């Protein structure tokens, strides 16, 4: 069963043959619509010469569509039951055999397509992705999507572009602009590294099993670094404190995070009566700079 994009009957046959029922704990909802995975590959904008890492490759539905573009693909899957099936589905494209990436050990050299058995939350990204300019394209399990995106932004500079599918609400938070109900600490943390935008909806009907929530695609493009690690850490500290009580005014919600909230807000040219969702990245940056300056003077 190689060379063709996966449909619902093919996915059921593969899972049945391996007695590998989808696991809710791993967020396993497999895309079974060829048009959808080709659309994702197209929106990712990858092609010959590009290097792509796919997290949660599953049975290879999206993997095959990415490989069709001519890009080099590293398909990462944590479920040991699925790895042999993924190898089977993608075997005609493989440049290497499956490798285990753990304990800091690098896998084999990357070919046209390689399958890696690893947990993305614990693997050595530096060993897996040599060089720079990688794309991450993935159908992410809903329970790890936000944390994984933040981990990649914070710890994996080799990845410069992401197109990820996740729960609609999570996608909206990742890409939210100031002023809306979905804008929060996660939105600001993403904005300190990258530009993010929604790239489209994905209906529940294209998945097996069908999820109870809606899905969406979000595109994230890393910008050149514009702030020091210390300044970014201060922005993160302040937005975490502020959005813990998002309905309150900043002078109140930042009272414990700042030695003199009113003075620091004035120095940053931020209204003490504003609420957290009203501030954009520039204002959070000024506030963090004022906070650090106050701390130095003190």
Which domains are seen in the chain, by residue range? 8-222 (3.40.50.150), 229-297 (1.10.8.100)
pLDDT at residue 202, as a whole number: 97
pLDDT tens-digit map of 135-194: 999 999 888 999 999 999 999 999 999 999 999 999 999 999 999 899 999 999 999 999
Count the alpha carbons within 13 Å of 88 in the hemisphere toward its beta carbon.
16
pLDDT at residue 107, as a whole number: 41
DSSP letter at 127 equals H
Integer Cα distance of 278 and 45 in angstroms: 33
Nearest to 85 by CA among 118, 50, 119, 58: 58
pLDDT at residue 27, as a whole number: 79
Cis link prior to 162 (omega < 30° from 0)?
no
pLDDT at residue 94, as a whole number: 66
Coil, strand or helix: which one is 78?
coil
Integer Cα distance of 251 and 270 in angstroms: 10
> Which sign does the torsion angle of CA 122, 128, 132, 136 carry?
negative
pLDDT at residue 141, as a whole number: 86
pLDDT at residue 28, as a whole number: 87
pLDDT at residue 230, as a whole number: 96
Taking the chain, what is the end-to-end CA distance rounded to the nearest angstrom?
A: 68
All residue ranges of the chain with pLDDT < 50 are: 1-2, 96-111
pLDDT at residue 278, as a whole number: 97
pTM, rounded to two decimals: 0.91
**Main-chain phi, psi angles of 34, to 5 degrees:** -55, -35
pLDDT tens-digit map of 184-199: 999 999 999 999 999 9
Given a contact cutoff of 8 angstroms between Cβ atoms, the answer to whether 123 and 101 are in contact is yes
């Amino acid at each position: 069963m190689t060379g063709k994009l996966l449909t619902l009957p093919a996915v059921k046959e593969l899972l049945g043959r391996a007695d590998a029922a989808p696991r809710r704990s791993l967020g396993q909802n497999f895309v079974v619509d060829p048009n959808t995975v080709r659309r994702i590959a197209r929106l990712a904008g990858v092609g010959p010469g590009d290097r792509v890492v796919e997290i949660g490759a599953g049975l290879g539905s999206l993997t095959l569509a990415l490989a069709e573009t001519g890009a080099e693909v590293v398909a990462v899957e944590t479920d040991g039951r699925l790895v042999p099936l993924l190898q089977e589905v993608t075997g005609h494209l493989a440049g290497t055999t499956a490798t285990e990436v753990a304990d800091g050990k690098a896998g084999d050299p990357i070919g046209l397509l390689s399958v890696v058995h690893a947990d993305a939350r614990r693997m050595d990204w530096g060993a897996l992705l040599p060089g720079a300019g990688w794309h991450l394209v993935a159908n992410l399990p809903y329970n790890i999507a936000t944390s994984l995106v933040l981990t990649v932004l914070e710890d994996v500079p080799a990845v410069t572009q992401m197109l990820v599918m996740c729960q609609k609400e999570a996608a909206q938070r990742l890409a939210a602009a100031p002023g809306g109900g979905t804008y929060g600490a996660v939105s600001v943390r993403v904005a300190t590294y990258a530009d993010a935008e929604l790239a489209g909806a994905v209906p529940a009907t294209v998945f097996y099993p069908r999820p109870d929530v809606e899905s969406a695609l979000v595109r994230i493009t890393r910008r050149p670094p514009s702030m020091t690690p210390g300044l970014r850490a201060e922005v993160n500290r302040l937005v975490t404190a502020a959005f813990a009580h998002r309905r309150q005014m900043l002078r109140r919600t930042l009272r414990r995070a700042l030695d003199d909230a009113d003075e620091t807000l004035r120095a940053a040219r931020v209204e003490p009566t504003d609420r957290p969702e009203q501030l954009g990245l520039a204002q959070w940056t000024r506030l963090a700079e004022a906070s650090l300056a106050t701390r130095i003077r003190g």
